[in-house]
Amino acid sequence: MNRRPHLLLATSVTLSLGLLAGCSSDDGGAPAASAPATTDATTDATSGPTDPPAAGDGESAATAAATWLQSQAASGTVFQTEFDGVAYDDYGLTGDVVLALLAADQDDAAQEYAAALTTDEAVAAYVGDGTTAQYAGATGKLLAVVDAADLPTSSVGGRDLVAELLALQTEEGRFSDLGADDYSQTISQSWAVAALATQDAAPQAAVDYLAAQQCEGSGFPAQLSPAAPADCTPDVDATAFAVSALVVAGADEDAPVVVQALAWLDSVGATDDAGTSWASADSDGPSINSTAVAVSALEDGDADASAAITWLVAQQVTDGDDAGAFLLADEPDVRTTAQAAVALAGEGLDDLLG
């Protein structure tokens, strides 16, 4: 695998992400404006192998995925998610697409979709109004995506997202949501830390709080707590986003927290003739989404992700109108394809957010 230059973010993660975002994504569980909330880090997408491109040809597969993604929504618009027969604007999903296009070196297209996230209405719908409600994961993810797309971050939708995100930090270093419900979790903490790191504004207390979530000598749990509980259960998606965020925030690739988390990921991956994959927390079978975010974490930790990229390549649709897409429940899925595209390009969040 040809790894692109690793970008050290002295000036500066995922999730996901995530994953991910409004309805079912990787920003750590922030609800969409109207669709029901979910705390899923990534949608669990599985598929059987199709006739793949040349084995291990991740970059060309990423380009095919990016091309398909752009066919699913007009340039400069917000992608939508359908729930119960009703279509909702999905800002977190649009952020995933932006990162996928950046990973595939389609920067102009990425910037046009990112711009759609910066309107006053989009910002308020995604992160909250900032007075009665605000979601840490969504705020962090939006800030990170806008910055990655090379758009101004000092005023996003007329708002200072850095200041608003810092205002959500508790004394112990946790970023908690404002409002009646707190959806914050490990992935939302990861997005907040990573986003602030890109602005040279990540408080050490927040970085330390994230690192302290690690289950002893292994991965990271999905939910946050003042200290890792004795019965701590690591989660693949949470571990992947936490590793990426810590690297973005300046953790060395050989730091124990990174090495141990990646070793745990390696231990729970499944390897067969198709390559290496990971299952999500709610599935026994391989998940495209969880495998994709695991690849990004491996890239950020400068570990070998080639077997996992080979597995992802083998899951891609390669012919027909949906060539380039990845499937969820046997149907082409935008979020699954976006997350896979980042991994196929051999990109970690450190690379993208740099």
319-344 pLDDT, tens per residue? 999 999 999 999 999 999 999 999 99
For residue 77, the SS3 value is coil
Tell me whether residue 115 is exposed, middle or buried, using C-beta atoms within 10 angstroms of its C-beta: 0 to 12, 13 to 18, 19 or more.
Answer: middle
Contact 345, 65 (CB under 8 A): no
192, 138 Cβ separation under 8 angstroms: no
**Upstream peptide bond of 224 is cis (omega within 30 degrees of 0):** no
User: Do the domain assignments include residue 298?
Assistant: yes
Q: What is the CATH number of the domain that holds 261?
A: 1.50.10.20
What average pLDDT is seen over the chain? 88
Determine the Cα–Cα distance for residues 208 and 169; give it in Å rounded to an integer: 13
Amino acid identity, residue 31? P
Tokens 């060309």, located at residue: 60
| Comparison of pLDDT for 211 and 10, the residue scoring more | 211
Banded pLDDT at 1 (limits 50, 70, 90): very low
Residue 123 lies in a domain: yes
Tokens at 23, concatenated: 């309805």
Position 21 pLDDT exceeds 90: no
Residue 2 placed within a domain: no
In a domain, 127, yes or no: yes
Distance CA 283, CA 69 (A): 25
* Concatenated DSSP letters of 117-150: TTSHHHHHHHH--SSS-B-HHHHHHHHHHHHHTT
Q: Is the model's pTM score more than 0.85?
A: yes
Sign of CA dihedral 168, 172, 174, 176: negative
* Residue 67 structural domain: 58-353
Count of structural domains, the chain: 1
- For residues 58 and 29, give the distance between their C-alpha atoms in angstroms, rounded to a whole number: 29
- Cα–Cα distance, 310 to 137 (Å, whole number): 30
Give Cα 278 to chain centroid, integer Å. 16
**Is position 45 within any domain?**
no
pLDDT, tens digit, 9 for 90 and up, residues 283-311: 889 999 999 999 999 999 999 999 999 99
The yes-or-no verdict on residue 28 having pLDDT over 80 is: no
Residues 32-41: b if buried by 16+ CB within 10 A, e if exposed = bbebeebbbb
- Identify whether 3 is part of a domain: no
Residue 167 lies in a domain: yes
End-to-end CA distance of the chain: 21
Whether 8 is covered by a domain: the verdict is no
Q: Under a CB-based contact definition with an 8 Å cutoff, are residues 351 and 7 in contact? A: yes
For residue 69, the Cα-to-chain-centroid distance in whole angstroms is: 16
Q: What is the mean pLDDT of residues 201-220?
A: 97
